[in-house]
Each structure stands twice: as C-alpha cells, then as structure tokens.
Structure 1
C-alpha cells in the first residue's frame, strides 16, 4: 500500500518531473486503446492520471480493470499535458500524472446515483446514501466552505480577546419556548437530563464568573414540530460580553459577518448595517424578517377608507382593524393569475383577496364601484399606481394583515422572479416589544426570552403594569415597553439574535411576575441563575448566530440540509442510521422506563 505524498487537487507546476504518490477515488475512466485516462479524485480535487501500455504495461493492465469509485493508489511522474488537451475547468488542468504503478485498495458496487455529475436526486435517496452524496462536488464544497467559516469565526473571536468555553450537554430542563429532548438518568430513577436548546443560562453565569468575553461554536437541540427547513439539532455561533451596551455587541457582530463575507466570498458589505425598528418592519413588510431585495412594500390606506361605503373596509376599520395594500407594478396580471394569488392567501386563512387592476383610462375590479372619486384619487396617489399595475388589499386586524400581505409579497417575488439573487441585504431589527399578549395562554410571553432586559426608561411602565389589576390597562402599559434586543436579518432570514440581559435580581423578578412565572416556579426552573445574579453580576449581553442558515445563505442554497454533514428529514429521521429507533427491554429497564404496551 502506497503512502500518499500529495492531494490530487494540489498537483501544480512545482511538481513537474517529480514522482508522487496519489490516493483517491476513480471519478471517471476512459480507455483510448493502449492508453487509459483516469480522473482521480480526492477531497482537494481531480487530477488526470495516464496509464500507457507501452511504457508501464503492468500499470496499464490494472488501469484497464478499473471502474467508477474504486479506491486506488497511484505512483507516477508529473508532466505537462500535451498542447491543446489542457482542461481550464480544473486547477490541475495543465498537468497529468504518468502512472508507473497502480494499486487497487478497494472496489465499489454500482452506485444508486451518479456522483460525477450534478443530476437531480431525491432527498430520501441522498440522505439514505449520504456518504455518496457527500462525494459530489457541490456537497463537498459546501462542507469545506463551512470548515473555512469555522476558522474565520475563531480567528475573529481570538483577535478580540474572547475565550472559547464549552457548556454542558446534559443539563436541567428549563422549558421556555420549544420542547426539550429528555435523557433519563440511570443513577437517579425518575429524573431526567435535558439536552440544551441554547447555552443561554450558562453563558450568563460565565459572565458572573468573570469570563467577560466568551464564545462557542455549539450544537443546540430542540424537540419542536419541524418546518420545511429546520433541524432538531443545529449549530450556533454563541457569544457573550460583559460591561457592554447594544452598540458594542452589534458592532462586533457586524465585524464578524463582514469578515466572513470578505474572506470567504470576496464581498465587502457596507457598514454599519442599516437598522429598522420592529414597528417599521412590520408596517412596511408585514414581518420582522423582511427581504428587501424587491419592492412590494405594504401601504397603509386605513385613513383613506375610514368613511368608505365599501362595507368590508368600513366594518374592519370600525372594529379597530386596518386596510393595507401592495402594488405589483407593471404586472399586467390576467384574471387567472389573480385567482391563483387569491387561492394562495386563502390557504393562509384569508377570506379572500380584494384587488384592482389599473388599465389605460380605467380601473378594473368588482370593488371599484363602492369607492368615491376622492377615495380613488387618493388610493392611486398613495400607491403610485400606473397603467399595468395590480393593487392587492387586505382588511383585517393588524396582525392578520401583516401575515397575509407579508406572505403574499414574498410569494409574488418568488413566483415572478423579482428577487435579485446576487444581492445580500443585511440589516438589524431593533426596538422590539419586550412582551406580547398570548390569547391562547391568557398571559404575557417574552418576545425573545425572559432574560432580555427592558430599556431602562421603560422599567417604570413595568412597575405600573404590575400594580394595576385592569388587564386592558396592563396590556396598554406593557405594549409601550421596548426590549434591549436586536436581530440580524439577511435576505429575509433571521441569522442572529441577541440582547442586553437583565443583570439585576429585582428587575428579573419583576419580569417573571409579569410573565406569570411565580417565585416558586422561577426558583424551580432558574434558581441557579437567580442565585448567581445576587453575587455581583456585571452588565452583559450577547448574541447567537444560526451557523447552518448563515452558511446556506452565503452559498445561495435553499436548504440548510445541504450544509450539514448528516441532517435529519423534515420528520426528524436520520435515513442513514435509522434513528430514532427502538431500544432493548434491558436498556429501558436500566433507565427505569417501562416498555410500551
């Protein structure tokens, strides 16, 4: 067995005339009668190996028996390719290796799908044979890109004096948000560990301990109902800083993202990143994760139609709702296309979709007859409508309108290819509400998490809210309280979120009370953190980036599964290993769990 002296993809001009030993997989093999050409592939790329019958007959004989994905070792001499046969698509395309000896290290069965070309392969097949899928050039590059991102991230943190510290994987269940994955304890019958949803509590405790700049590239786990592009286990770039305010955390975060884009993509993002308030984002885009690479902003028309004769709009406004619209400019939509968009919003729970098609000299719509001349004039002026435009309306309670039009603008942009795919739109969303009222649970819930600090000037409002027993007055007061939180959004995806944390015990107690968390419950769930806050906790804050999503965006990929080595399906199943799976009765008995009937 030969010992490799160089990677295939690293063969270069400096190797001309040298004898090398290469190891890898047979990417392609071609016999041209007396000469066999082998494309030999490894992690770093492909190089052409030539076996000549006249020169080295034994090597030629072995080469002639090769098939795709055989694992081989080759000893040979590097030479220039003959003029006119160079391959500019390969970084080794000017060179080839004349094989003196070839050894077959292992053979391969016929593959379930080709790895030497980028053909469509079903998700199930790719995940079942993930080790083959990862041999494909695109997948290999995704993981190598991710590897390089890790190095850039660590270098930036080390440059700024951060310390990398690991936090526990077996910890206490503190159910706030998604469900925990639970691990039964063998040594403590009836008790369970929880796998961490994030290192949030531990990194705050590290600040109390005096490690004023912590970071970790960490796996997190959430047992939540999976959506199309979520994973039960995912990776965060997690960090925390002491003696800081929002500007410090956001400025460092910008440098980290700027450096990643600069070093890995050669893209210089414009700094400082633009900031948009939560309220403005919702009003203009219907979401706190806006994609601004296209127009279709939401336009408020409530004041125009407050006295309208159109009953749908009038009744909505009287009930405290709003009327908003988006103008799909120069769309020239057919009635069939409008009907398809109506079906889309109905799938979101809308009763229908009011519309006006602007044509030369007239407006085409069944609702125009209900509008006064003044209402039409003001509508056209505010929406900047011209012939060829189509205006879509939503009239409902504000949150419902956000949902309908926010999703509709994104659906239209994707369907009609309005998005500039080569652009990276990066912004901060700031000034979030601290809490919101949850109708189903009948209580206030934290918009981020219960350890997010309110703005200093808003703390008196929290105290007033706690003192009043009138729920409507309480809602009114709390709606004015802003969080010291910040989310980074790229191309319509939240890639990172964080906040300045509560570091004073009395403020944390106040927030817990308003969230309906009793003192007993708070001690039971978060007692170790609350105790730590009594021993000189410094002001601190941090942020966590979703590494999988960030890498997928940088690679212009739709799915985070393409940047994770061994992902789960949408149902949380690992098709490669068969997890989750049943365990033996003996194993269940050891952790004090009864078998299912």
Structure 2
C-alpha cells in the first residue's frame, strides 16, 4: 500500500465496503458521540467520515488529535445505516473504522477556524493565508480559477493561437499607471521596470511575422487598490493578431469569453456574442454614467434639458444658461413613492451632491398627476412632456441631475445602479456584455490645460494622420473595452503601426521625437521594416473569475493577494533591504520626514 493513501477523501463509495484503505488529510471536525469518536477527514478532493471506538487499538491516539492536524489513517470501509446516510457528500454512504493512525503534522491553536465560513478580519485572513485557503469557499474559488485558465488556453489553441512568453524585466513604458522599478546591479543608476502589460512585445511579435499570439501574462502596476483591482500585480489573457480590423478582434475573443461564462457560470444566462451591443464611449457616459455599464439594468438616462430651460425651477434654468451644461434624467419605473424618492435624494447627498430633483406620477382619481417639488415648479405641461419622453406611467418616477456632465456623471451612474437594484429591475442571474468603442485618444488636464493620452498611447487614430491635424479632443481611436455586469473585462485596440503617425500622436501629448525614439526605440524602428496592420486585447483573468465566483472582492479569487495598503502580511513585504544589498546596487534610502 502507498505510504500515505490508497484513496482520496472523495473516492470511497458502497462499492468499497469491506476493503482496507489508507487515507490522509486534515481533521475538519471532531465529534464525540457517547465514547465513539467521529472525524470528518478532509483533503483537497472531499470529506470522508472516519470513526473510532474503545475497541480499536488506535483509540487512545485518536483521542489526542485536534482540528487541522494532518493525519494518516488505516481502516475498514463500512456501510452507514440507511438513516445515517449523508446525501450531501459523495462519500456519504460509507464510513471508515480506524485501525491505525499516524500524525503527519500536529497543529497549534488556530488563529482562524477552517471548518465553516465564519467571518474574520481581512488582516487575519491574509496573515494566515495558508489556513484561509483551506476553507471550502477558497478551495472552490482557486479550483475555479485554475479550471478557467486551462479552458482559456484550450480555446485559444483551438483558434490557432500560439502561446509565447514575453520578458518580466524590461524598460519603463507609459500604460496609465506607475511602474515598479528594479535597480540594476551591473548598470549602477539605471533601472529596469516590471511590465505593466506585454504591450510593446506583443506588437513586436506581430512585426516578427507571427500571425496570432497569446499568453496568460502577469502584469505589474503600482496602483491605488479597489475592490475589483489588485494594487500590485494581476494576470490577463493577452492576445494580438495581424491583418485585422476592430470587428475581427471582436469576432475572435467574444466566443472565447462567452464560452468561459457558459462553462463556469453555474447556469446563469449568458448573452450570445451576436447580441452584444457596440456603444460609443460618449453614449455610454450619457446613458449609463460610466464606460463599463451594467446592462442587466434596463434603465437608460436621457437628456431632459429642453424641459427645464427657461422653466420655473430656477436652479436648473440658471445652470442651463452656462455653456456645456445639461439636465439628465434617470427613469425609475415602479419607483413612484415619496419615501423612495426621499431615499434616493439622501443617497445623492451622501455622494457629495446637494441632492437629486425628482418627479413621481400618481393617479388621485382624476387621471395621471405629477408630484414632487420639481413638478410644482415647472408645471403640468413640462412634466407631461418629460413623462412622455421617458416612457413612464402611474407609479413611476424620474430623478434629475444638472450641471456639467463631468461633475455629476459618476454619481448618476451609481444612482442608476442603486435604483435598478432596489426596484428589482436588475437581472441577477445573467451575464450581460457590451463593447464600448470610439474612445477619445486624448484628454485635457483641467488645471494645466495640457493634453495627454486618455487611453492606450499605441492605438491607431480613426482617420489616421488627417485626424491628428484637428482638435486633439475630437480624435477617436480604434480602442475598445468589453464591459460585463458593471466591470471592465477586456481592453484593446487596433495599433498604430505607422512611424510617422506614431511620432505625431506622441508629439500632441508632449513627447518629442527624441523621447519617443529613446523610450520606444525598438517599436519605432521596427515600424520602419514592414510592420503589418495589427490589433488585439487583454482580458482580466482575476476579474473574470471574480464574476464567475460571484465575489465582490478580487482578493477572494487571488491565492496570495496584497492588502489594501499593498502589503503582503504573510511574507512581510515590502521589507527594508539590508545595507549590503543597497551598497551592491549603488542605492541609498532617503528617510521620509
């Protein structure tokens, strides 16, 4: 017999009754039933109930074991009495009578319990992550993650992609976040960077004549943490294709993403790729208040400025006299009660706005009537016109925000999500996808007036060189994101592969020719040697698994994540380097005041 096990803790069935078996695992739970000791023995695969009574030579040793001890047992498989069968376990028809036990690893008193799903502070969970990972939910999440990655690889190979690895130590590149720098020992004063993405390398692979590339790529960005983003590193499905247009990329990656969600979505509805709308960045902001809309929620915001221009509601009327302002309505079907309207008004105040105006419609026996402070100020004709525009009826409401869209869009988008959830309008058992397209390439800093890249700097502008000769803020790129249930899952672009357009694009953002050649020399030079048109995208593995696992925090699907302060509490990173390490790297730490 094998030194540690003849079966896993998920293998045994009634067919094994009478056999002598060997199992190894952890003590999940111990129960004493009148002198008979029952142990739920757990390994990665499942649980088997083992038992021992005073007639067994191993009884005295079994009495000593405690939760999370790692043990090996030898014993005889017996059938459970019919009334004691546990249908929730694959091994629930049998139990193993212990004849011999060996303690493989004793455990100290536990800082957190593994059995059950008790809540513990995140600091405790991350400091003792190896214990936290033993919990059933975490085992399930990490298994799901592994299976998703394996499925992605199979699907990419089936689409004639080949997997190539790109460097982890490279040069700094502007990708929209801060780099993690790595000092060079051999070149004092110079630094490598951990790649924010394999962006330049995958483009160079296309220039090298490889038609389709992918990899499950680690990416490193020094970012502020959020619930759906790791502050240090993450993994993405990175892909690139030659001789393609934007729709070709969509047609390639959409079935891969849809297939993953169909395979691992637990029966939830997955919108078919042919049904995924393509929404411009501008329309997404106008309709949903975000470039990653949750389309499970049917609410679409609308511009209602004309109904308030010159109206009796002075706040909006005066706002609309200023350039670049508007009043936007958030329809709320079935939200027509003063209590709900007041609650949403309080929500806006918590988000830092003075409030949200509202109108709700009711029937007092004399036909439909508009109610609320706004209705009294603008009169019945205007409220009826608003109702008609929004397609609302008795029992419905609408909320209004005014000013420059940049000042209220974020709150409007959040309000739309809250309204959809509280009124039961958002489908909870569906994955709804949308391609967001036509991103602006540039943005202007409100304080300095400087123009910089708004999105990926390596994207082809729509209209090529001609587009770059006009107002930079009007330039749209062949850039696209895939949104799902309010999260960005995929981001990509058709690349700028012409050196003269590349120079012009960077010049507008304040990068001179010498700087472009210095920072992106390989890419710039490669474009002079027959670069093919190419494009691609990257899909966030962590975020995909988070959605599939129905988790709200990305750290629940990352095996060893950092905390909110970008610290690894288990490994105690970041740490202070030894003085000889600094000397070897020609570095000196300047104390912070």
TM range (shorter): over 0.9
Per mean C-alpha deviation after superposition, the further-off stretch among 81-90 and 414-423 is 414-423
C-alpha displacement of 1:533: 1.1
Structure 1 residues 391 and 463: CA distance shift in structure 2, 3 A: closer
Q: Does 1:360 align with 2:369?
A: no
Of residues 535, 545, 549, the one that matches 2:543 is 549
Q: Distance in 1 between matches of 2:484 and 2:290?
A: 13
CA distance in 2, matches of 1:249, 1:398: 32
For residues 453 and 574 of structure 1, the distance between their equivalents in structure 2, rounded to whole angstroms, comes to 39
Q: Deviations over 1:130-187 (max 9, x none)?
A: 1111111001100001011111011111212222211111111123411101111112
CA offset at residue 568 of structure 1?
A: 0.9
Q: TM-score, structure 2 length as denominator?
A: 0.92
Cα displacement string for residues 446-479 of structure 1 (whole angstroms, at most 9, x for unaligned residues):
3321111123xx22542432xxxxxxxx25xx51
Q: Show CA shifts across 1:365-405 (max 9, x none).
A: 33333314321220122233334333211111133342231
Q: Which moved more, 1:224-233 or 1:197-206?
A: 224-233
State the match for 1:496 in structure 2.
490
For residues 254 and 80 of structure 1, what CA distance do their matches in structure 2 show? 49
In structure 1, the residue corresponding to 2:574 is in which secondary structure? coil
- C-alpha separation in 1, matches of 2:66 and 2:107: 8
**Residue 138 in structure 1 maps to residue 137 in structure 2:** yes
- 449, 456, 464: which one aligns with 1:459: 464
The farther-off stretch of 567-576 and 262-271 is: 262-271
TM-score, structure 1 normalization: 0.92
Q: Distance in 2 between matches of 1:394 and 1:363?
A: 18
Q: Secondary structure at the match of 2:370?
A: strand
1:565 Cα deviation from its structure 2 partner: 0.7
Alignment correspondent of 2:528? 534
- 1:34 Cα deviation from its structure 2 partner: 5.0
Give 3-state SS (helix, strand or coil) of 1:23's partner. Answer: strand
Separation in 1 of the partners of 2:551 and 2:195?
27
Matches within 5 A, 1:108-127: 108-127=107-126
Question: Following the alignment from structure 2 to structure 1, what is the Cα–Cα distance between the partners of residues 561 and 444?
Answer: 35
Distance in 2, Cα, partners of 1:342 & 1:34: 62
1:26-105 matches, within 5 Å, as 26-54=27-55, 57-105=56-104
How many residue pairs get aligned? The number is 581
CA–CA distance in 2 between the matches of 1:366 and 1:273? 40
Structure 1: segments with no counterpart, 5+ residues? 466-473
Which secondary structure state, in structure 1, belongs to the residue aligned with residue 409 of structure 2? helix
Match of 1:392 in 2: 399
Measured in 1, the distance between the counterparts of 2:147 and 2:101 equals: 33
Counterpart of 1:23 in structure 2 is 24
SS in 2 for 1:442: coil
1:391 aligned counterpart, secondary structure: strand
Instruction: Provide closer, same or farther for how the CA distance between residues 15 and 508 of structure 1 changes in structure 2, counting only shifts above 3 A.
Output: farther
Change (3 A) 1:330 1:393: same
Counterpart of 1:283 (choices 276, 282, 286) is: 286
CA contact (8 A) 1:35 1:60 kept: no
The 1:588/1:460 distance shift into structure 2, 3 A limit, reads: closer
Q: Give the aligned partner of residue 235 of structure 2.
A: 235
Is the Cα–Cα contact under 8 Å of residues 78 and 96 in structure 2 kept in the other structure?
Answer: yes
Aligned positions of 1:196-211 closer than 5 A: 196-211=195-210
1:158 aligns with 2:162: no
Task: State the match for 1:425 in structure 2.
Answer: 432
The aligned residue for residue 323 of structure 1 is 327
Question: Which is worse superposed, 123-132 or 12-21?
Answer: 12-21
CA contact (8 A) 1:277 1:432 kept: no
Q: Following the alignment from structure 2 to structure 1, what is the Cα–Cα distance between the partners of residues 414 and 265?
A: 30
SS for the counterpart of 1:534 is: coil
Q: Distance in 2 between matches of 1:453 and 1:564?
A: 34
The question of 1:296 aligning with 2:299 is answered: yes
User: Deviation digits for residues 13-35 of structure 1, max 9, x if unmatched?
Assistant: 55444332211001112232453
Q: Structure 2 CA distance, aligned partners of 1:595 and 1:509?
A: 37
Give 1:441 deviation, angstroms.
4.5
How many Å apart are 1:414 and its aligned residue? 4.4
In the TM superposition, 1:462-541 aligns within 5 A as: 462-465=467-470, 474-475=471-472, 478-479=473-474, 481-541=475-535
Mapped partners of 1:431, 1:245: distance in 2: 14
- Gap change, CA 1:372 and 1:342, over 3 Å in 2: closer
1:254-293 deviation line (CA, Å, top 9, x unaligned): 1211221233335473232412322332221111111122
- Contact 2:295 / 2:433 at 8 angstroms: preserved in 1? no
Partner of 2:258: 258
What is the alpha-carbon root mean square deviation over aligned residues?
2.2
Other structure's SS at 2:84 match:
coil
CA contact (8 A) 2:36 2:53 kept: yes
Q: Deviations over 1:85-107 (max 9, x none)?
A: 11111121122223222111121
Q: Which shifted more, 106-115 or 201-210?
A: 106-115
Deviations 1:300-333 (A, max 9, x none): 2122233324322222222231111112232354
Partners of 1:86 and 1:431 in 2: CA distance = 60
Deviation at 1:37, TM superposition (A): 1.6
Q: 1:415 to 1:129 in 2, by over 3 A?
A: farther
Q: Counterpart in 2 of 1:181?
A: 180
CA distance in 2, matches of 1:462, 1:437: 17
Structure 2's unaligned 5+ residue stretches are none
Query: For the residues of structure 2 that align with 1:14 and 1:243, how far apart are their CA atoms?
Result: 58
Instruction: Report the counterpart of residue 562 of structure 2 in structure 1.
Output: 568
Structure 1 partner of 2:377: 370
User: Which residue does 1:470 correspond to in 2?
Assistant: none
1:471 corresponds in structure 2 to: none
- After superposition, the Cα gap between the structure-2 partners of 1:228 and 1:160, relative to the gap in structure 1 and judged at 3 Å, is closer
Task: Give secondary structure in 2 for the equivalent of 1:10.
Answer: coil
